[in-house]
Structure formats: C-alpha cells, structure tokens
C-alpha cells in the first residue's frame, strides 16, 4: 500500500508522463497538477479548473494508466479536485468509481476490474458508424453468447484492430464491463502488453515465473491490449502464448487489440499469430462525418458537460469537419473549444472554435484554403464519393447538387477564378457561373438549404 505522502509517487508518475506526452501537452495539463493527498491507494490531485480536470480525465486516461504501469504503481488510482472548489475528506475507494464535477468522487457500491479512469468505456456509450458496425456487433455477440456451447461460429479470441484513438480499448473494456455486470463473480483481467512485460521482468529477476502465469490463467476473461508491441519481446511472447493456450483450451474468453491485423504483425512467432486468427477478427475504421457529429452530441450529454458552456450546432459541425483522424482527436478538439471559451469567459462560438483549432493545428487565421479540401469536405457532407463529385458525365441529382455547392464554396472560400473551378470539373466557366447562381437562388428561397450551406462554409473556413 502506498505511503501517506503523495509527492514521491506523483513525482515518479510525472516523470513517466513527461516521456509519453508532447512537451506542450505536459506543460499545459500535467505540470500544473499538484498532489493533495494519498489515502489507501487513492492519489488525489488538485487541478486548476473544471475544464482542465475534464481534459486530463478524458484525454490522458490511457497515458495515466501506462505511467502507473511503467513505475510499478498499478494499485494507485487517480481522483481529481478543482483548486478552490473545496473537498470532502478523502476515503479509500474501490476501482471504477464515478467522479463528480469537482472534489473527490463518492464511494461506489461495487468494485471493478478496470483502471479507474476507464469508467466511461461502456458499450452503451460507444457511438456506432459504418466503420465500426462490424466490430461493435461482434462485441455485443461476444457478450451475448458467452458461455453458450451452441454458438454458430467461434468468437474466441476476438481480435480488434485499427488505428490509434478509434475506440479499440473502448470496445474491449465495454465487453469486460458488460460481462462483469451479467455474470456475478466472473474473473476478468485487463492487461496491457507493456504491463505484462514489467511483471514478467520482475518475476524473472526473482527466478519464478510460474505464479505470474497462473495469475492470468485463472481468469474467465482476458483483455489483452496493444499486442502489436509484442514483436520486440521474445520471452514475453512465450509466456503470453502459454497463457492464451491454457485459456483457449479451457473455454475462457480472450479479447485482443492491435494497430494491425494478425497477418501484418511483425516480429511475432507464427504460433502466436495462428492463435490470434483462430476466432473472429474485426477492424475499426475512422468515423465518417455523420458519426463524428453523433459522437460529439453523445459526449455533450455526459454529466461532466452539464456545467460547461453550451456548444451550438454550427460549432459541433465545425469540430466534426476539422477533427477527422480519430475519436480521441475529436474529443480533444471539443474539450479544447470548451476550455478556450471558459478561459475567455465567452460563450462557445465559431470564432472561439477557430481560435482553439488554430492552437492545435498551427494554421494561421488567414491561411489559404486548398481548393481540394473544399471539394472533399463537400463530398463528405453530402455522403458522395469524391471521384463521383468530380466526374463531368454524371447528371444525377444526387451528384449535381453537391457539385454545384462545391463550386459555390470554392468561389467563396478560395481565390480560384471561374475558369480555374471549371478546370477542376472539366467544364466551361459559364457552366460554373450558372451553377453558382443556381445555389444562390436556392439559398434565398430555401432556409434549410441556406443553413446547410452556411454551416458547411463556416466549417471549412
């Protein structure tokens, strides 16, 4: 159990975080945190504002957990209080507690098998889009079919892969939480490969690895995160293989996550790759525009956002257009916009959102907008293929209107001339002039169309 002095432990964690985060992120969010107290295994940190608390909890949950693993303090759990908000006496708390907007979180009625900052990773909070439909459906099937011997096909192991920040860990933890809720007494272990590496290193030093192997073989469900890092760990691969082999032979559920599919994992033993491929493999792709909007709206329903400034629809659309790389990027820009508004003491607006985005992207307010970006974002908004939008021959209404809007936006947002826009679509400049005029006329008589075009214009700008 950690000592009552929180500073030595926080100093070690801070050092690990400084190696994992960018210099700017560490300086802006982690450096201002101060250790307040340590009771039992709960480390209470004081943060400068509610917005900072929200950012740290939601953007750095995995990095904080990784830091604990790296310094050998996996039993420590974080709680946060806002400076000046006052705090109740801190008591030891089981894992999985739900934290209030400020001050230490209340004690829950049940314990959990997962890191304390992963409480929001549940299946009912996962927003499903075209790029994640298969993975989500498979996750639900793993839960629904657990323990059934008459399943039509094997879902063990369930291997989830995709780029960073797309929700793989969310799905994995969601499966574990749902199984834990449905099956009382079920033994579930969440394990990152790096964490197992540190445990194994200590066991090898003590010349006794058998207890570590038994520790994970006794679980009903093993959630193994980031298996792509196994390629550089020969002995770790061997131990992981024996654990997986035992669990599979005894019908225990395994869920794995990786940045790449099994066949593209480098440096892994073939027998391990074979085990990964035994069950069901599903990928998670970046969310499309509609899904990104849905993710933002779902997130704004959280209790953490109720005391925050209201985010208008046009700002939601702006964020959805700008943050395309991952769900984490999306949530990060949302949090930054809210933080920016709180810092300025102003309502959330497109102007505030632009300022927040410039702070993350490095774009200058007057930077020229590439015409290709205008075309691609228009295609995405209208849910049409970019190649179809740019084809001259297509006269379908589903393509014709988005193309006209793209021409209008190109004229409004760039310095491109009518002939230059025409060359983009292999059309005469007079056709471009007519298309733009058609959009302007429709905007005058159709308020909904006008709002849609303006929203898109503001999002691209």
Segment 368-409, tens digit of pLDDT: 678 888 898 888 888 888 888 887 665 677 788 999 999 998
Element containing residue 393 per DSSP (H, E): none
Query: What DSSP character marks residue 29?
Result: I
**Residue 92 confidence (pLDDT):** 36
Question: pLDDT higher for 395 or 18?
Answer: 18
What does DSSP assign to residue 112? -
Average pLDDT, the chain: 82
Give the helix ranges, DSSP H, for 279-428: 289-300, 313-322, 327-344, 350-361, 371-381, 386-390, 397-413, 418-424
CB distance 401 to 382 below 8 Å: yes
- Give the residue range(s) of CATH 3.30.300.180 domains in the chain: 6-107
CA angle, corner 301, sides to 296 and 304, nearest 5?
100
Rounded to an integer, the average pLDDT of 104-125 is: 66
Cα separation of 146 and 149, whole Å? 9
Cα–Cα distances in Å, from 398 out to 79, 121, 394, 395, 433? 51, 38, 9, 8, 20
Q: What is the pLDDT of residue 82?
A: 87
Backbone angles phi, psi at 161, to 5 degrees: -135, 160
- The CATH classification number of 123-284 equals 3.40.50.300
Q: Give the mean model confidence (pLDDT) for residues 291-315.
A: 84
Higher pLDDT, 63 or 111: 63
Q: What is the pLDDT of residues 272-299, one digit of tens each?
A: 999 898 889 999 988 887 888 899 998 8
CA-CA distance, 86 to 91, in Å (whole number)?
A: 15
- Which residue in the block uniquely carries the two structure tokens 């907007």? 101
What is the homologous superfamily of the domain 371-460 according to CATH? DnaA protein, C-terminal DNA-binding domain (1.10.1750.10)
For residue 364, pLDDT over 70 is answered with no
DSSP 202-257: HHHHTT--HHHHHHHHT-SEEEEE-GGGGGG-HHHHHHHHHHHHHHHHTT-EEEEE
Please identify, in words, the CATH class of the domain defined by 6-107: alpha beta
Q: What strands lie across the sheet with 188-192, from one edge to the other? A: 188-192, 221-225, 253-258, 158-162, 280-284
pLDDT at 146 over 90: no
CA distance 322 to 358: 11
Answer yes or no: is pLDDT of 157 > 80: yes
Quote the tokens at residue 374: 């205008």
Chain region(s) in the chain for CATH 3.40.50.300: 123-284
Extract the tokens encoding 49.
């504002």
Q: Which of 139, 123, 121, 129 is closest to 281 using CA atoms?
A: 139
pLDDT in tens, 76-108: 888 888 887 654 433 333 333 333 334 444 333
Q: The tokens of 102 are what?
A: 């400020």
DSSP β-ladder status, 280-284 and 158-162: parallel
Is the pTM for the entire model greater than 0.85?
A: no
User: Residue 85: what pLDDT?
Assistant: 63
What backbone phi and psi angles, to 5 degrees, belong to 415? -90, 10
What pLDDT does 256 receive? Answer: 95
Q: Which residue has the higher pLDDT, 445 or 153?
A: 445
- Long-range (24+ apart) CB contacts under 8 A made by 104-110 are 104/42, 104/44, 104/79, 105/79
Question: Is 289-361 in CATH node 1.10.8.60?
Answer: yes
Write out the residue limits of the CATH 1.10.8.60 domain(s) in the chain: 289-361
- Report how far residue 403's alpha carbon sits from residue 388's, in angstroms, rounded to the nearest whole number: 9
Largest CA distance in the chain: 81
21/366: higher pLDDT = 21
Percent pLDDT > 70 in the chain is: 88
Tell me the β-bridge partners of 160.
257, 282
How many other C-beta atoms can be found within 10 angstroms of the C-beta atom of residue 200? 19
Question: Cα-atom radius of gyration of the chain, to the nearest Å?
Answer: 25
Phi, psi of 190 (to 5 degrees): -100, 130
Average pLDDT in the 299-321 region?
A: 83
* Contact by Cβ (8 Å): 37, 44: yes
As given in the structure block, the two tokens for residue 321 are 């257009």
Residue 213, Cβ neighbours under 10 Å: how many? 16
């Amino acid at each position: 159990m950690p000592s009552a002095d929180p500073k030595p432990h926080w100093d070690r964690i801070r050092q690990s975080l400084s190696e994992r985060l960018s210099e700017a992120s560490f300086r802006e969010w982690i450096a201002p945190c101060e250790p307040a107290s340590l009771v039992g295994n709960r480390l209470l940190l004081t943060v400068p504002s509610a917005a900072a608390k929200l950012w740290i909890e939601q953007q750095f949950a995995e990095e904080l957990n990784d830091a604990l693993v790296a310094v050998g303090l996996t039993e420590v759990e974080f709680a946060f209080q806002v400076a000046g908000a006052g705090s109740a006496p801190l008591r030891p708390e089981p894992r999985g507690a739900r934290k209030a907007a400020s001050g230490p979180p209340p004690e829950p009625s049940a314990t959990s098998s997962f890191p304390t900052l992963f409480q929001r990773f549940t299946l009912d909070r996962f927003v499903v889009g075209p790029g994640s439909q298969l993975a989500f459906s498979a996750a639900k099937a793993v839960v629904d079919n657990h323990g059934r011997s008459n399943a039509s096909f094997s879902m063990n192991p369930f291997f989830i892969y995709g780029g960073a920040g797309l929700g793989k860990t969310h799905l994995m933890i969601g499966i574990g939480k749902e199984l834990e809720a449905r099956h009382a007494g079920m033994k579930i272990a969440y394990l990152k490969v790096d964490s197992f590496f540190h445990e194994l290193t200590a066991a090898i030093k003590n010349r006794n690895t058998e207890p570590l192997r038994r520790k994970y073989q006794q679980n009903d469900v093993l959630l193994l995160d980031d298996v792509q890092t196994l390629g550089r760990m020969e002995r770790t691969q061997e131990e992981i293989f024996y654990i997986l082999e035992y669990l599979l032979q005894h019908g225990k559920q395994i869920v794995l996550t990786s940045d790449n599919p099994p066949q593209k994992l480098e440096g892994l033993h073939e027998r391990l790759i074979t085990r990964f491929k035994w069950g069901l493999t599903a990928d998670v792709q970046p969310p499309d525009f509609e899904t990104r909007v849905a993710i933002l709206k779902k997130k704004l329903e959280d209790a953490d956002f109720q005391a925050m400034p209201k985010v208008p629809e046009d700002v939601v659309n702006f964020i959805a257009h700008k943050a395309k790389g991952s769900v984490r990027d999306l949530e990060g820009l949302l949090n930054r916009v809210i933080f920016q508004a709180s810092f300025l003491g102003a309502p959330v607006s497109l102007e505030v959102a632009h300022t927040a985005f410039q702070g993350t992207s490095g774009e200058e307010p007057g930077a020229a907008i590439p015409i290709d970006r205008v075309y691609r974002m228009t295609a995405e908004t209208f849910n049409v293929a970019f190649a179809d939008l740019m084809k001259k021959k297509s006269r379908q209404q589903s393509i014709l209107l988005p193309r006209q809007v793209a021409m209008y936006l190109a004229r409004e947002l760039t310095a491109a001339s009518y002939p230059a826009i025409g060359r983009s679509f292999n059309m005469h400049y007079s056709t471009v002039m007519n298309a733009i005029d058609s959009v302007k006329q429709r905007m005058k008589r159709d308020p909904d169309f006008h709002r849609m075009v303006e929203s898109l214009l503001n999002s691209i700008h």
